[in-house]
Chains A and B, each alone.
Chain A
């Protein structure tokens, strides 16, 4: 067992985990943050995308110990009070999700993109979002959502 200290969505957390604990399981089971989802479980589908020190990673193939001393942002950390993050609002307005299982990952990946490139081209959006699979939407409305969020600007 290891004791790790990390900041999740602005809250300092200390958790005791087995060495093999993935960051995703740590978030979901140790911290009760079930917004991040497990799809493929092998770092392919992107449903578990979270930000580690602002950079997107697949939490299903990262060990919890990897986040020791670092800052994690999950889907639960985006909305301010009752107000949705512009990326979340854009996904709602543009129909960027259907069943919602990939959506936390799509939203986190979009946020990471817009933090780095506030006004991406369509080609840049597609290149960046390539690691986030979606079976429901066929992606068209996800691309539109990212564009809309880009237009709306960030707070």
Chain B
């Protein structure tokens, strides 16, 4: 059949970077982007996918109050999530005509809805079966090739397995957006920030749908305000269409980019003003009652304590050898919101089964949820088993992401377990036996044909007034001959809620830190005319076990989170400030300021040579 086709290609000019994309007269990527379903109306340029703004006060008036104004521009690279398991999935149409799906997807209920929408099928026809996920980091929330697998399954009448090779992952995943971010900040001579204007351009690639949020933008753009009280603020984030790989959500979407820019900018201001970078931060940190960029009030603010803890653990201010420098950077991460169903059931053997629609992406979330149920019911964690609900069981669930699982899953499990506890007490009273075992109680109910069980739907619509602060400090050595940066030691300090599982909590901190380390120093998906040219995981330069520095973790525990027992979130707390902490340390070590990630030996070498 191929012989009947005669294909001729006409080469047309393309646009591959975000600033080129919004230049006047740039080649237009989509003829009518506004016609796409869910597309935002505002379109200052035909290649603008979306605009997201955060505004406090009157930024122009604010700049008039400033004694000094600083402006710097930063760039961050295209970066893959780097999970070791590539996307995979199976679609089979069963004898009843139902579409059975198994996929490495962290949001099974949304997957069902997206598939139903894309395939024009009633939702009830689709059943997503939960599977363990080999790492996610934000990358496993989309349809990927599943619609194709469905159509092949439909046409062939056979189950179809879709499996991406890693080169395909790198070429066609949904990586972290590259950015160009300009920060302009007005400061009084006393070192107080009075105004800031942030303009961010994110290279979103050819399609927008990997950002399935109403804004079609990156919420992390709000982090342009950092952890500071800024009375007059305007952040504008532009997601730009280009002829390159569509980008998506990656561990704290938009934040590593914004925090690199903002925290490098703070250091540059401090050095220019002759202030200790830690001192400039102290003078501007958020406090109780202050507003975040999104207008939310904060309570239980421990920004200052977190900063001081990181500084103390890094011997801030102590003498250091030549070519060694120290840098600090801060951020904060919200505790995620969303909705989760949990169902608990007392088994006749005396154990409890927790039924949940959240897959475990490898964070240990299921263990945390079992611990919550065990704690409420006075059981050991081994006495609580987990059962994964296919999407047939519950109506909905917001899935894994956005630092929400311990909060929403934990609270759903907590309230369900509380109800079960009441039922158990009522059943025990009915039995009239003192200290009856759970097995005895369950068996008594079973004899009457009853099962003791309870469900809870927990729905958190808006963010709590608490957040979780991070302060990170790096000590680096720069090789004067090669420009190679070696991190000698690193401190990560976190203002956390109640820690439910210390081992898993620390694992999230360490993993996030090393992901941040890769983003800072080595990882980059390179492109040529929009096409990915980094086609092996080796070339992408994920950190190895040889690359990790001694790490000190400081936790400031405060049981004020919205999660069960006062828990907060930790999964996205340790990634975003790593790159600026290291960039600031490099500047401290040798005076070279790297404003585009990653901080390679080559960039430092060139800067050292240019300086002479």
Residues of A within 8 A of B (CB): 37-42, 44-45, 47, 95, 98-102, 125-127, 129-143
Contacts and interface: CB of A to CB of B under 8 A. Distances in A.
A139 B551 CA distance: 11
20 contacts: A39-B84, A39-B537, A41-B165, A41-B166, A42-B536, A45-B537, A95-B504, A95-B507, A98-B507, A98-B511, A99-B361, A101-B84, A126-B546, A127-B546, A135-B81, A135-B511, A136-B507, A139-B510, A139-B545, A140-B551
Interface in B497-522: 503-504, 506-507, 510-515
A137 B514 CA distance: 8
Nearest to B516: A138
Most chain A CB inside 10 Å of its own CB: which residue of B137, B364, B506, B507: B507
Say whether chain A's binding surface is mostly helix, strand, loop, or mixed.
loop
Given A40-B166, A95-B503, A136 B511 contact: yes
A37 B84 contact: yes
B132 interface: yes
A13 to B, nearest CB: 24
**How many residues of B sit at the interface, in one of the four size bands?**
35 or more
A129 B545 CA distance: 7
B381 interface: no
Nearest to A101: B134
Interface in B401-450: none
B21 interface: no
Do most interface residues of chain B lie in helix, strand or loop, or is the interface mixed? loop
Contacts of B513: 138
Contacts of B82: 135
A37 to B, nearest CB: 7
Among B83, B84, B543, the most chain A Cβ lie within 10 Å of the Cβ of B84
- Going nearest first, the 5 A-B pairs with the smallest beta carbon separation are A99-B362, A101-B134, A138-B514, A138-B510, A44-B538
Nearest to A142: B545
B364 A98 contact: yes
B541 to A, nearest CB: 10
Contacts of B165: 41
Contacts, number: 117
B506 A130 contact: no
Contact of B510 (A40, A44, A45, A141): A141
A93 to B, nearest CB: 9
B362 A102 contact: no
A26 B537 CA distance: 23
A48 to B, nearest CB: 10
A141 B538 CA distance: 22
Contacts of A41: 165-167
Contacts of B504: 95
B289 to A, nearest CB: 36
A142 B272 CA distance: 42
Contact of A101 (B135, B506, B512, B537): B135
Interface in B362-386: 362-364
Given A101-B85, A139-B510, 16 more contacts: A40-B84, A40-B536, A44-B537, A95-B506, A98-B511, A99-B362, A100-B132, A101-B134, A101-B135, A126-B545, A129-B545, A136-B363, A140-B551, A141-B503, A141-B506, A141-B507
Given A37-B84, A126-B545, A136 B362 contact: yes
Interface string B537-579: 1100011111010010000000000000000000000000000
A118 B504 CA distance: 28
B366 to A, nearest CB: 12
Contacts of B166: 39-42, 45
Nearest to B364: A98
Contacts of A38: 86
A36 B485 CA distance: 35
B515 A135 contact: yes
A135 B85 CA distance: 10
Nearest to B361: A99
B487 interface: no
A143 B550 CA distance: 12
A133 B537 contact: yes
